[in-house]
Amino acid sequence: MRMTRIVRSILANYESDNPGTKSNLARILMNGKLGGTGKLLILPVDQGYEHGPARSFAPNPEAYDPHYHYKLAIDANLSAYAAPLGMIEAGADSFAGQIPTILKMNSSTSWATEKDQAIHGSVDDALRLGCSAVGFTIYPGSNYQFEMMEELRDIALEAKGVGLVIVVWSYPRGGKLSKEGETAIDVCAYAAHIAALMGAHIIKIKPPTMHIEQEEAKKVYKDIDLTSLSNRVAHVMKSSFNKRRIVVFSGGASKDTEGLLKEIRQIKNGGANGSIIGRNTFQRPREEALALLEEIIKIYKGKE
């Protein structure tokens, strides 16, 4: 596998990792149309677990089929495909070796009354299915945050020991956090930093708003320009070990094409490593989704 100077420089930031883990991280960074640029575009499909099948797939009924998502990620030439155990198993043989996969190991449901997640996959599953990485969600701020962090610690230790990459969904919620506070700039930057401290190779967070949740943080943030999303993204990147960790931003709830592309441009201008977008692609008809993903790739390549 060829490797660009940019990818070599990114790998150099992960000083404790073994050749197996670095090879898998390089595989993700070198795959697809963004391969070698240091930018990533990942398709995550865990929404059926989180929100239910109808809310996730009824807008585009073809998406009920797990093979649909593999094909979308492969045909769009994306960096990787992330999904829970059953979704990965359903196409593991048909699409073996065609795209790096990320086994999403824990999830919640729309019925949950507590901000916690169930673990439903293992490192052994990831190895058996040929995955390059495992994904894990933590909820900083939740009453269960420390249990989730301890679960991540054990999984990360095991996964790194066998050469897998760690992708952490760091989504603040629960506890004393307000709904608005879940995407506040001070909270998102804190969440990204926690994921870096936990040993994540790739960190996934939501695009931050201008809201500042923590009273103690307001006096610090008064001297930081947060007026644009690109500035807020740049601050999150600085909080992620001064850009030494890969950070990708979610696409969030469904939005119109121009609104999504405008957000992607600002994320790119803020120096982020890319995007991880699910509903905003697979809920659209296939050809429309492919066209949208191509536009996003052009943005990250600086060619739009």
By annotation, the residues acting in catalysis are: 171, 204
- What is the Cα–Cα distance from 191 to 169, expressed in whole angstroms? 9
Beta strand 118-119 with 106-107 is antiparallel
CA distance 42 to 14: 21
In the chain, the DSSP E strands lie at 40-44, 80-83, 101-104, 106-107, 118-119, 133-138, 165-170, 202-205, 246-250, 274-276
Beta bridge partners of 102: 82, 133
Phi/psi of residue 237, nearest 5 degrees: -65, -40
Torsion of CA 237, 239, 243, 246, to 10 degrees: -70
CA neighbor of 289 nearest in space, from 251, 248, 262, 235: 251
